[in-house]
C-alpha cells in the first residue's frame, strides 16, 4: 500500500522543514508543502503533526550470528531485525566473522542465508578477513563482486581473529585495488595479551580488570598502526567502536596527513562508563566489551567530536550474550575476565539513547543526529538509496515522537538477552512509525511488519 505522510517536520542531514510526503513502489515519490489526500486515494494517511520525519537509521556495526568465546550470540535475524525496527533502524551492516580455517566464501554464504531467511530490515555485510593466502584473496574478490564493498580486520584477539602485519598489508593493498573500504577493530593484540597475563598472575581476575588489560593507549596504538598501513597503501579505512580521545587524536593526525579515514563510536561509550564494569557480585560482566568502557571524563570529548563531525558515525557493536549461562563463563574463581563473551546488546536502544542524551540535552542538533546515525553511514558504505529523504530514495522512514517518555527494560525489549545494559534508563522520544521501502514495519514500540521483508543490499565499491 502507498503511504501519505502529512504535516511532518522533515529532518535530513542538512534540512529542516514541514511538508507532506507520498511514498509508492518502495520509493519516495513526492515531497510537497501540501498533498491533497484525494489525489492519492490508494494511500494510507499517517498524520505526523508534532513529530519528526527522519530517514531510516543505519547501524553500521552489528553482530547477529556470532560464534565467540566458545558460545554463540543470542539473537538471530528474526529477533534482531524486529528490535532494530522498533528502535528506528531500517538497515543494519553485519560483520561476517569467519574462523581462521573457514573458507571466506563459505562464511559469506552462511551469514547471507541466515539473514535472508528471516530479516525484517534491509541488511548488508562487512567481510571479515583473518588470512590472506591466494585462495582466500580470490574469494574476497568474488565476494566483492557479490555486492560486499567493505572488509573487516581485527587488530586484537591474538591467536583467533587477529591478523598479522603481513595480512593487514595484503588486505589493505587488495582493498585499494578494488575500491573497498577496510573497517578495523583497533587495539594491539600483543600488548593486550601481556597485560592480561600480568593481571591474572596476581589474582586480578574479575570483570573490573578487563579495562586495565586493554587501556586506552593500547587502543590508540592500534589506531596509529592502522593509519600507518593506510598511509603506505593508500587504502581507505574506518576505525570502528573508537572509545577515547587519545585514539581519536591519532586518527585525526593521520587524516591531516592525507590519510582517507573515518571514525566510528558506539552508543555504549556515550552513556556508560567503566564503573559499570566494576559493579560487585560479577554484575560488571554485563558491561564487558572491547575496547572497554572508559572513564566518564571521556564522554564530553566524544560528544564534542560528534558535534564537530570528527566522529562520523554512531553504531552499536551489538553483540548479544546472556548474563546467565554465557557471560558467567568468566566467573572467578573457576575462570577469569578473559572468558567473558564481549559485547553489549544495544541495537534496539541506539536511536532513543542518542536522541535522549544527545538531541534532548542540546549536545547535538537534529541534523547532526541524522548525519551520524544514518546519512554518513550510507555515504561511507555506498548505500546510495538509503540515509536520505529525497524523491527517488528508498522510502525508509522513521516518524519520531519527541513527546514520548518511557524507561528501558529487559522485560520489554525484543532482543533475546536476559538483561539490558541500560536497565531503568529514561528515554525522551521514540519511533512512532517505521517503514522499510514504504512498508510499515513498526508502530509505537510494536513490530507490525513481516519477517523476511528485508533485502540484501548489493553495494558497488566507492573507495
Q: Is residue 460 part of a domain?
A: no
C-alpha distances (whole Å) from 244 to each of 296, 305, 322 are 10, 10, 27
Count of positions (residues) in the chain:
463
Query: What is the rounded CA–CA span in Å between residue 216 and residue 290?
Result: 11
Average pLDDT over every residue of 300-305: 98
Q: Are residues 255 and 173 in the same domain?
A: yes
- Other CB atoms within a 10 A radius of the CB of residue 308 amount to 10
Candidates 199, 202, 207, 422; CA nearest to 328 is 207
| Residues near 408 by beta carbon (within 8 Å), at least 6 away in sequence | 349, 352, 420, 422, 423, 424, 425, 426, 427
pLDDT at residue 381 is higher than 90? yes
Per-residue pLDDT tens over the stretch 261-300: 999 999 999 999 999 999 999 999 999 999 999 999 999 9
Query: What is the rounded CA–CA span in Å between residue 287 and residue 157?
Result: 18
Q: Are residues 316 and 185 in the same domain?
A: yes
What is the reported pLDDT for 69?
81
**How much is the mean pLDDT over the chain?**
97
Per-residue pLDDT tens over the stretch 426-459: 999 999 999 999 999 999 999 999 999 999 999 9
Q: Are residues 207 and 242 in the same domain?
A: yes
What string of H, E and C letters represents the secondary structure of 127-187? EECCCCCHHHHHHHHHHHHCCCCEEEEEECCCCCCECCHHHHHHHHHHHHHHCCEEEEEEC
Burial 120-152 (b: 16+ CB within 10 A, else e): bbbbbbbbbbbbbeeebbebbeebbeebbbbbb
Domain count, the chain: 2
Query: What is the rounded CA–CA span in Å between residue 397 and residue 387?
Result: 9
Q: Are residues 140 and 261 in the same domain?
A: yes
pTM: 0.97
Q: CA 250 from chain center: how many Å?
A: 22
Q: Are residues 217 and 261 in the same domain?
A: yes
What is the reported pLDDT for 235?
98
404 lies in which domain range?
2-54+393-417+426-447
What is the reported pLDDT for 232?
98
Per-residue pLDDT tens over the stretch 40-97: 999 999 999 999 999 999 999 999 999 888 899 999 999 999 999 999 999 999 999 9
Q: Is residue 453 part of a domain?
A: no
Q: Are residues 27 and 125 in the same domain?
A: no
| Residues near 334 by beta carbon (within 8 Å), at least 6 away in sequence | none
Percentage above 90 pLDDT, the chain: 97
Amino acid at each position: 500500500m502507498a503511504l501519505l505522510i502529512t504535516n511532518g517536520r522533515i529532518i535530513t542531514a542538512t534540512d529542516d522543514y514541514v511538508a507532506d510526503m507520498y511514498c509508492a513502489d518502495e520509493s519516495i515519490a513526492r515531497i510537497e508543502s501540501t498533498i491533497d489526500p484525494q489525489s492519492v486515494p490508494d494511500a494510507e494517511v499517517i498524520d505526523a503533526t508534532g513529530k519528526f520525519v527522519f530517514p531510516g537509521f543505519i547501524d553500521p556495526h552489528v553482530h547477529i550470528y556470532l560464534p565467540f568465546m566458545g558460545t554463540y550470540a543470542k539473537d538471530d535475524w528474526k529477533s534482531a531485525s524486529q528490535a532494530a525496527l522498533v528502535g528506528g533502524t531500517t538497515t543494519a551492516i553485519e560483520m561476517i566473522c569467519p574462523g581462521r580455517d573457514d573458507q571466506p566464501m563459505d562464511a559469506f554464504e552462511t551469514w547471507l542465508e541466515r539473514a535472508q531467511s528471516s530479516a525484517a530490515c534491509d541488511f548488508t555485510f562487512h567481510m571479515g578477513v583473518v588470512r590472506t593466502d591466494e585462495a582466500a584473496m580470490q574469494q574476497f574478490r568474488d565476494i566483492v563482486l557479490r555486492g560486499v564493498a567493505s572488509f573487516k580486520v581485527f587488530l586484537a584477539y591474538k591467536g583467533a581473529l587477529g591478523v598479522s602485519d603481513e595480512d593487514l598489508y595484503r588486505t589493505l593493498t587488495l582493498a585499494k585495488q578494488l575500491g573497498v573500504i577496510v573497517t578495523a577493530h583497533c587495539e594491539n593484540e600483543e600488548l593486550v595479551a601481556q597485560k592480561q597475563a600480568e593481571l591474572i598472575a596476581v589474582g586480578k581476575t574479575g570483570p573490573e580488570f578487563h579495562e586495565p588489560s586493554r587501556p586506552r593507549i593500547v587502543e590508540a596504538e592500534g589506531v596509529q598502526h592502522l593509519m600507518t598501513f593506510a598511509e603506505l597503501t593508500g587504502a581507505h579505512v574506518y576505525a570502528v567502536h573508537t572509545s577515547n580521545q587519545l585514539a581519536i587524536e591519532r586518527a585525526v593526525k593521520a587524516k591531516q596527513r592525507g590519510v582517507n579515514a573515518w571514525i566510528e563510536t558506539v552508543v555504549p561509550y556515550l552513556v556508560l562508563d567503566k564503573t559499570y564494569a566494576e559493579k560487585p557480585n560479577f554484575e560488571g560482566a554485563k558491561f564487558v566489551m572491547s575496547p572497554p568502557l572508559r572513564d566518564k571524563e571521556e564522554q564530553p570529548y566524544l560528544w564534542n567530536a560528534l558535534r564537530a563531525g570528527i566522529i562520523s558515525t554512531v553504531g552499536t557493536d551489538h553483540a548479544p550474550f546472556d548474563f546467565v549461562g554465557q557471560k558467567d563463563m568468566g566467573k572467578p574463581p573457576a575462570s577469569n575476565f578473559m572468558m567473558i563473551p564481549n559485547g553489549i546488546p544495544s541495537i534496539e536502544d541506539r536511536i532513543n539513547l542518542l536522541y535522549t542524551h544527545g538531541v534532548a540535552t542540546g549536545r547535538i542538533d537534529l541534523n547532526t543526529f541524522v548525519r551520524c546515525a544514518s546519512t554518513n553511514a550510507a555515504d561511507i558504505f555506498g548505500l546510495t538509496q538509503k540515509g536520505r529523504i529525497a524523491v527517488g530514495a528508498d522510502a525508509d522512514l522513521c516518524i519520531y515522537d519527541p513527546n514520548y517518555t518511557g524507561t528501558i527494560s529487559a522485560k520489554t525489549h525484543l532482543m533475546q538477552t536476559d538483561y539490558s545494559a541500560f536497565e531503568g534508563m529514561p528515554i525522551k522520544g521514540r519511533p512512532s512509525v517505521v517503514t522499510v521501502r514504504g512498508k510499515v514495519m513498526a508502530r509505537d514500540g510494536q513490530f507490525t511488519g513481516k519477517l523476511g521483508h528485508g533485502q540484501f543490499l548489493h553495494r558497488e565499491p566507492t573507495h
